[in-house]
Structure 1
Amino acid sequence: MFEKLEILQMASAMASHAAARQAVVSQNIANADTPGYAARELPKFSELYRSEAAAPLRATRAGHVGGGETIRATASPRTDPGATSPDGNAVSLEEEMVKAVEVRRQHDLALAIYRSSLTVLRSAIGRG
């Protein structure tokens, strides 16, 4: 019953997106000395969530699995890589550290939304 609530689905998707972004940031930092490595990034959560919510998948027969439960995105090379080093590496450790802080904030926000929603639900059933 509660897994169908839109706010909980959004919070879960936001936390998953933050985890995926953190993995991409970690890969970028790990490859900061790799010659020719292009920094990668994921699209913003708001862009992905809007696109998923606008055109959800639908099951056309009984064997299909319903879509829209998770947001999936693939990391792509950064469109504006900025300065590159002489060996062709486009990773800026300073930018990646700033992105790591943004990801942490996104994850904390997702948990806060989830926590607040649970508090509202507990109050609604008289256990808050």
Structure 2
Amino acid sequence: MSVGDMPLIGMLKTRMHWHQSRQKLLAENVSNADTPGFKPRDLRAPVFSPAGSPLVSGVRLEQTEAGHIAPQPMRGGEDPRDARRFETTPSGNAVNLEDEMLKASQNQQDYALAASLYQKSLQMLRTAVGKRG
């Protein structure tokens, strides 16, 4: 079993990739704060099964007959729910810079936590196999 196959390591890697994607999306929201009609977007957090693999939702679709419609992939985990917006400018822009900056700050802290846990997990594995450092 390789280190990447371990459930904890896999979940931490998935979580860090999600935080990277979310940071990019939040930066796009901030950069389009003055774009008329722009609606901010966010990503849905990954949900993990008890086995450690990420689930998009609790329900999985299966195509049991050839005539059934095949399941369609989701749009990259984008959260389709509209966030509660307290203000919308006359141009239709719904970006609230304070909200976006708070989300970006929290996202950065959560990424740092996941990276720290990842590093500590690898250090623990090195110690378990007898390598120090």
TM-score by length of 1: 0.77
Identical aligned pairs, as a percentage?
A: 30
- Alignment CA distance shift 1:26-1:75 (3 Å): farther
Matches within 5 A, 1:104-123: 104-123=108-127
Give yes or no for contact 2:41–2:78 (8 Å, CA) kept in 1: no
CA distance in 2, matches of 1:98, 1:41: 13
1:23 aligned partner, one-letter code: K
- Residue 52 (structure 1) aligned with residue 51 (structure 2): no
CA distance in 2, matches of 1:74, 1:25: 12
Considering only aligned residues, what root-mean-square deviation do their CA atoms show, in Å? Answer: 2.3
- Alignment CA distance shift 1:116-1:55 (3 Å): farther
Alignment length, in residue pairs?
112
CA distance in 1, matches of 2:5, 2:86: 42
- Per the TM alignment, residue 103 of structure 1 is displaced from its structure 2 partner at its CA by 1.0
Gaps of 5+ in 2: 61-75
- Per the TM alignment, residue 75 of structure 1 is displaced from its structure 2 partner at its CA by 5.0
2:27 aligned partner, one-letter code: S
> What is the aligned partner in structure 2 of residue 61 from structure 1?
none
> What is the aligned partner in structure 2 of residue 3 from structure 1?
4
Give yes or no for contact 1:40–1:77 (8 Å, CA) kept in 2: no
1:88 aligned partner, one-letter code: G
> What is the aligned partner in structure 1 of residue 106 from structure 2?
102
Give yes or no for contact 1:38–1:81 (8 Å, CA) kept in 2: no
Gaps of 5+ in 1: 57-71
- Per the TM alignment, residue 55 of structure 1 is displaced from its structure 2 partner at its CA by 6.9
CA distance in 1, matches of 2:110, 2:90: 34
> What is the aligned partner in structure 2 of residue 28 from structure 1?
29
The structure that is helix-richer by fraction is 1
